[in-house]
Amino acid sequence: MGIGESVKKGFSISKQSMGLVMALFVFGFVWNLISLFYGPQPGAAETPAVSPILIVAGIVFILLTIFVQAGSLGYVRDKIKKGSAGMAEFMSAGGKYYLRLLLIGLVVALVIGVFVLLAAIVVSVLGAKMNVLAIILAIVLASFGIYFVILLFLAPYVAVADEQGVIASIKQSVAKVRKNILALLGISLILIAIGFGIGLLLGAGFAGLSLVIKGMPAQILFALLSSFVNAYLGLVVTGSFMSFYLALPSNTPPAE
């Protein structure tokens, strides 16, 4: 499946899955409301201490996000392979693949942490006397770190689509990303461009809206609109990459 076909399939899946889109919308909107009411307020004279409620809510949100990702991947997989899926499949996949995706996320975080630590050590050791060399080495380490994270990108898709464990998913992701990195980057660039364009439109709309509606009501309305857009596009992203992955030669081709 080509780059354009994958993105088109992602939009098709999202359009046919409005029930899941609405569930994702509610999930994101609740978090946005919590951030609005308990987070720093725009225009405040000084930066206030972070609310304990926001910290707890943030931790809960991260943990729930893993369930939502696992459920969405399982839902989209069934939608492509079987032609239909519902919230039952979403809930089932969320529980079944939760631990695998959590561990994969921890591996990614560990990889990022190692390269950040190495870059910090380089800067601290060489920064005082060899600034240029320290900067170059830090950039090289950052580049390698980004590359390794990219290699792990397909691991959640492997874990759900192929029922693989954490280690097997990581190994298979590295192998398949290396072979298809240009196509994956192509899909990513298209989706980023679409998201950026829609973000500009939302920003312009909010700027105009703020001239009519002031303060918190305007922020709530913007959170409402942005939560729906993020939910819809989030499912487009999952559908695009899952379609591409399932169409790879060693996988079962997706149903049209």
Could you tell me if 94 and 67 are in contact, meaning their C-beta atoms sit under 8 angstroms apart? yes
Q: What is the pLDDT of residue 213?
A: 75
Q: What is the pLDDT of residue 130?
A: 63
Q: What is the pLDDT of residue 253?
A: 43
**Domain extent listing, the chain:** 3-104+171-246
Q: What is the pLDDT of residue 256?
A: 39
pLDDT, averaged per 10 consecutive residues of the chain (256 residues), comes to 89 93 94 81 58 83 93 94 88 94 93 85 70 78 88 94 93 94 94 92 80 78 90 94 89 45
pTM of the predicted protein model: 0.85
The b-or-e profile of 70-90 (16+ CB within 10 A means b, else e) is bbbbbbbbbbbbeeebeeebb
Residue-level length of the chain: 256
